[in-house]
Amino acid sequence: MRTKWMVVSAVLALSLTACAAPEEKPVAAAAAAAPALNTGPEQNRIVPAKDEAAAALLPPDVKASGKLVIGVGAAGSGFPPLAFAATDNKTLIGNEPDIAVAIAGTLGLEPVLENTSWENLFIGLDSGKYQLGASNITVTEERKLKYDFVTYRLDNLAWLAKKGSGLTITKPADIAGKKVSVSSGTNQEKILVEWADEVKKAGLAPVDIKYFQTNQAVYLALGSGQIDVHLGPSPSAAYHVSTTGQTEIVGTYSGAGKDLQGLIALTTKKDNGLIKAYAAAVDKLIASGDYAKILQRWNLANEAVQKAEVNPPGLPIEGK
């Protein structure tokens, strides 16, 4: 989850406002350290039986096609554990493909996964090329002008520390006097700066904010003690915890800030008639327990939602 809070051009504002794919390097080496996570091409995904009630909500043309074309904006190195290349460097795996495939199965449709860039994902949704976008997309009020959403995961940030740190972070005072890293130009930077300001106003020891170019540099800094904690997307943190055993999550926080729980949603072109079927499919997966199993296999159980929501309140439009 990356939310640009600095000024960007009007052309890019809609597609880059929230949750562009976190930047990661190929994961073959990390995967080797984590036998508990299956990062091979043979995924044995959960494919539920068709739910007639949910399938009945599909538009006739989609039902007749028998297919669900799914766009995932993970071109390049991807963003584990959400969507990235398996150890064969070509098979698309991760939580987002798993959820999308399960949705297709619940609706009685054949999933057609297409990996594309973040920008082209939205172009494909606009043109109708992709009937479903599953790519860590945050609900925002600006995006709701063009797209319909059904929620399937919490949009959380995580405070990541070296394993055994003894830290617990729930409020600004907990980072007083700490060296904290964050990615520049992201929503988490905005939140961290706000917390640092609160620490300063309280007269506590100042927060020393650090910036690194890559996640790998962050992990090295944590291990060497150059920083005490890093604030970033919860899925990326959970993946590092699972694959290395060198770090731990010592707190979480809504990606939308203190006043709103951020939400990740399946996305489709507005008013194309698909959103009710998607919502019914998500609720069916939750009720059957398949949803929990999918999140658990990628260490994302702490981001589970209790039910699907259609077009809930999203991150506000900047300045409104």
pLDDT along the chain (320 residues), means of 10: 36 33 35 61 96 98 98 89 94 97 98 95 97 94 96 96 98 98 87 97 98 90 97 93 93 91 97 98 98 95 96 83
pLDDT number for residue 299? 87
pLDDT number for residue 11? 30
Question: How far apart, in whole angstroms, are the C-alpha atoms of residue 98 and residue 43?
Answer: 9
pLDDT number for residue 9? 31
Question: What's the pTM value of the predicted model, to 2 decimals?
Answer: 0.81
At residue 198, the 3 state secondary structure works out as helix
Nearest to 213 by CA among 2, 23, 29, 82: 23
Domains of the chain are 10-155+260-303 (3.40.190.10), 156-254 (3.40.190.10)
pLDDT number for residue 23? 38
pLDDT digits (tens, 9 = 90+) for 265-284: 999 999 999 999 999 999 99
Question: How far apart, in whole angstroms, are the C-alpha atoms of residue 298 and residue 37?
Answer: 7
pLDDT number for residue 164? 97
pLDDT number for residue 320? 57
Q: Which single residue is written with the structure tokens 């520049």? A: 184
* 293 C-beta neighbours (distance < 10 Å), count: 14
